[in-house]
Amino acid sequence: MVDVCLLGTGGMMPLPGRYLTSLLIASQGKMILIDCGEGTQVTLKMCGWGFKAIEAICFTHFHADHIAGLPGMLLTIANSGKTTPLTIIGPIGLETVVNGLRVVAPHLPFEIIFIEVSNDKANSFDIHGFKIDTLPLDHGMICVGYNINIGRQRKFDALRAENANIPKIFWNKLQKGEEIFFEGKLYKPDMVLGESRKGIKISYCTDTRPTENIISFVEEADLFICEGMYGEDEYIVKAVEYKHMLFSEAAFLAKKANVKELWLTHFSPSLLFPEEYLEAIQEIFVNTKIGEDRLIKELKFEI
């Protein structure tokens, strides 16, 4: 089971009742935060999920509406009692930007591990059971999208274990991935585990023009959180100039990528009632939702 919370849905600046775009993903007692604009710690506090379990903060890019909330967030995480390392991920230049912001938060009880991702190719790494992939996007500055994949443990196959004459006292450890050497024989987890099972894929792309690469990147995602800066197609000239996306463009990406569900976010401050465009967008991609601050969804593994 994976819990997802869209902490805020605003772009450029926070508004009364609309915090800046940020996403929180929780699984097995660990959490990942994507983007951290001004006020993110406030809406996270309202969400009630806590701060200590945040293991990584991922940044799409370094515009203020996506990163200016970091110093306060770091201090709040510190006050939560966290002492284990925190990983911060983002485009090239990440460490310089973060250290600049940390002038007002210089002393933390945990180590920060920086991972700077390439802006000209995809990157992939694992953090606390989350497989994180990045993709270069098309914005006015270096920007990346994220896939968060949560794998599912292979099912224990007792019949295989019995046929391999593996002592039952080792079954539990083998199921957990441990190798055991006993009486001259090596027992491996593959000897007791069944076929791989489908995990959960969450995709997050914001501050970009639509690209073909996005389609293959988010393909068959269980949940696709995508920028919808403008609700009306008449804003296409502005969207192209500032490298943002229309609602309809995000919906076509979701349709072509065959995702299960689309959440629109990162609304322009001038877009006060994005829900007014939902019916028209659902004609393109039926399972579309207009993002709301602290919109929560529980994703379950397939049986």
Which amino acids are annotated catalytic? 65
Report the chain's C-alpha Rg in angstroms.
21
Parallel/antiparallel/unpaired status of strands 185-187 and 180-182: antiparallel
**Six token digits for residue 15:** 């508004």
> Can you tell me whether residue 156 is helix, strand or coil?
strand
Helix axes 94-101, 70-79, angle to 10 degrees: 70
Extract the tokens encoding 286.
Answer: 């039926």
Does residue 8 contact residue 14 with C-beta atoms inside 8 Å?
yes
Give the span between the Cα atoms of 7 and 24, in whole angstroms.
7
Residue 33 pairs in a beta bridge with: 24, 57
Dihedrals phi, psi of 25, to nearest 5 degrees: -125, 130
Place of tokens 């939902």: 278
**Strands, DSSP E only, in 35-156?**
54-58, 86-91, 112-117, 123-127, 130-136, 144-152
Instruction: For residue 215, give the 3-state DSSP assignment.
Output: helix
For residue 183, which amino acid is it?
A: E
With 0-12 / 13-18 / 19 or more C-beta atoms within 10 angstroms meaning exposed / middle / buried, residue 301 is middle
**Rounded to whole angstroms, how far apart are CA atoms 243 and 139?**
5
**What is the enclosing helix (H) or strand (E) of 245?**
none
Alpha helices, H only, 48-93 = 64-67, 70-79
